[in-house]
Structure 1
């Protein structure tokens, strides 16, 4: 799947809930693991130093990214592989390639079992991969809605949520049985999907609806919407606020999680896609696909405080901070 085709497909994205940090990890993320699709690589960014410190070649137009529960391994989707790359982050090299059919893009990791879930953009299914012999092995698939994109697993590892772009819905899947238990109607063309820290609420960026749907996971229903800029892509959460990348607006919309009212619109780089908050909630990082940068946002002042140069086509949609 080439870059122009991805644009035509509205550039599938996701944000998956990050596993809980271990005691040994710093309060804020020390590194970003960023897919740079045009460069066919994954770049490791020193966030304190504000610079790329390693470039790892990954063929096949790397797109989605998620990290293992111990944050030592990165899993990267390769839609033009098609398949998945397994990266040892300490060694900074690819240690495995897993072939997959269709269009693998969205990805999430079970924070309890370490199982990896990959959305097939071209079919109504999610692949299940399990750790085996130092890599991943395909272990079945789950039927969901049309064109699955964003994925997230609840902190207890019991439930998978899937944004189905062409079905305007979110699938709720019981992972014990690998079956869909509910399908929640949301806004138009949901892409990025984010869970709060407890797994109680999910947020979908509705690309052609210019809003975010809020889902009560236990009740399996939409409970509200927040307005965004043009072509919302991914949602991140920090300090009681939602932060949404607006692809066509070159902005990040900030809204209050309690009232769903817009608080501010922040100008960032060209065509922002992936966004994630540090674990202490003080900063957010935005991958600007159009101008090859990461924007740094102060979550308290809601101001851009820096910019980090990247290689061609940073996307970073997924769980990319460690």
Structure 2
């Protein structure tokens, strides 16, 4: 059973990175901030199957390329926590200091990148030694992070700079800062690595960035206090924290299509590997929501721990 779980995890993560097209993720991990825990949800049954203590008010999450490890940021204890996703146990803890929040994993390198909200930099952590090997200055209060599918670039949503930093991973150099909407928080890159989408909390919109050109090329109006963005079936899905909705827009035209009634304070959001479902962490209602990206309807929910955020990539 454990070997099967590892195979499923690896296949699903490959699909998420663009290397596969038919995989559907089998499991979700939600960071439950007030509960100091991590919930494991079986996506086939939409039921939580386990919950473990993390501590430090966990928020951000990323998975190793093979899906065997989950990396969780704990802002209150200023730590990065490693979880064995198969045995469902905490294996290592690393004190970073500052305010670790957003996190992203490299698709091939043994590295994760952690945004330090207070020190305005990104920690580079070697996942083999579980030690910081570099830090990269960015804009003010970096939040969401995302890596291009080819592993060349890291993008950081610098909330209090109203900008996105573009970083060359090999040289650790900040190549550009792109002006976006007000207070960008979550950031998502498409499967081709061509465009990035930021959820701008203060201006209630999404900015579309042409990554190669290093400039904003579009804007989409959303509901109140957008948190993060998912992409599926040629559509964008945005969690509107204060609106209790998920704004859906067309990726080609950037035209809003619908506001789906979701839950109390929807936050983390991600599409599965086949783009067959979109999953939403509902902070206020303590459940994980499943949305059909074709019919734009809610098709299921799973009860999880208190205050799920799932800020990052949380499906395998």
The answer for the alignment partner of 1:186 in structure 2 is: 180
1:53 alignment counterpart = 49
Q: Distance in 2 between matches of 1:37 and 1:192?
A: 17
**Would the aligned equivalents of 2:178 and 2:215 in 1 still touch at CA under 8 Å?**
yes
Q: What SS is found at the alignment partner of 1:281?
A: coil
What are the residue-to-residue correspondences of 1:28-177 with 2, within 5 Å?
28-133=24-129, 136-177=130-171
Task: Indicate the residue corresponding to 1:294 in structure 2.
Answer: 288
Displacement of 1:307 in angstroms is: 1.5
CA distance in 2, matches of 1:178, 1:140: 8
Matches within 5 A, 1:125-274: 125-133=121-129, 136-274=130-268
Structure 1 71/106 Cα, relative in aligned 2: closer, same or farther at 3 Å?
Answer: same
User: How far apart are residue 281 of structure 1 and its match?
Assistant: 0.7
Structure 1 position 310, deviation (Å): 1.2
Name the counterpart of 1:27: 23
Mapped partners of 1:32, 1:200: distance in 2: 26
Contact in 2 for aligned 1:19/1:155 (Cα 8 Å): no
Counterpart Cα distance in 2 of 1:19 and 1:102: 30
Structure 1 residues 222-251: Cα deviation after superposition (integer angstroms, max 9, x where no partner) = 000011000000000000000000000000
Which runs of no fewer than 5 residues in structure 1 stay unpaired? 1-17
Distance 2:164 2:305 in 1: 33
Report if the CA contact (8 A) 1:112-1:155 is conserved. Answer: no
Once residues 102 and 32 of structure 1 are traced to their aligned partners in structure 2, the CA distance between those partners, rounded to angstroms, is 28
Instruction: Find the aligned partners of 1:55 and 1:294 in 2 and give their Cα distance.
Output: 14
Matched residues in 1 for 2:262 and 2:227: separation?
14
Task: State the alpha-carbon separation in 1 of the partners of residues 13 and 175 from structure 2.
Answer: 23
Distance 2:189 2:171 in 1: 21
Q: TM-score, normalised by structure 2?
A: 0.93
Long gaps (5+) in structure 2 = 1-11
CA distance in 2, matches of 1:224, 1:156: 24
Q: What secondary structure sits across from 1:132 in the alignment?
A: coil
Please identify, of 87-96 and 22-31, the stretch whose mean Cα deviation from structure 2 is larger: 22-31
Instruction: Give the conservation status (yes or no) of the 8 Å contact 2:110–2:128.
Output: no
Distance 1:25 1:114, change over 3 A: farther
Task: State whether residues 162 and 172 of structure 1, in contact with CA within 8 Å, keep that contact through their aligned partners in structure 2.
Answer: yes
Deviating above 6 A after TM superposition, structure 1's stretches of 4 or more consecutive aligned residues are 22-26
Shift of 1:24: 10
Cα offset, 1:130, TM superposition: 0.7
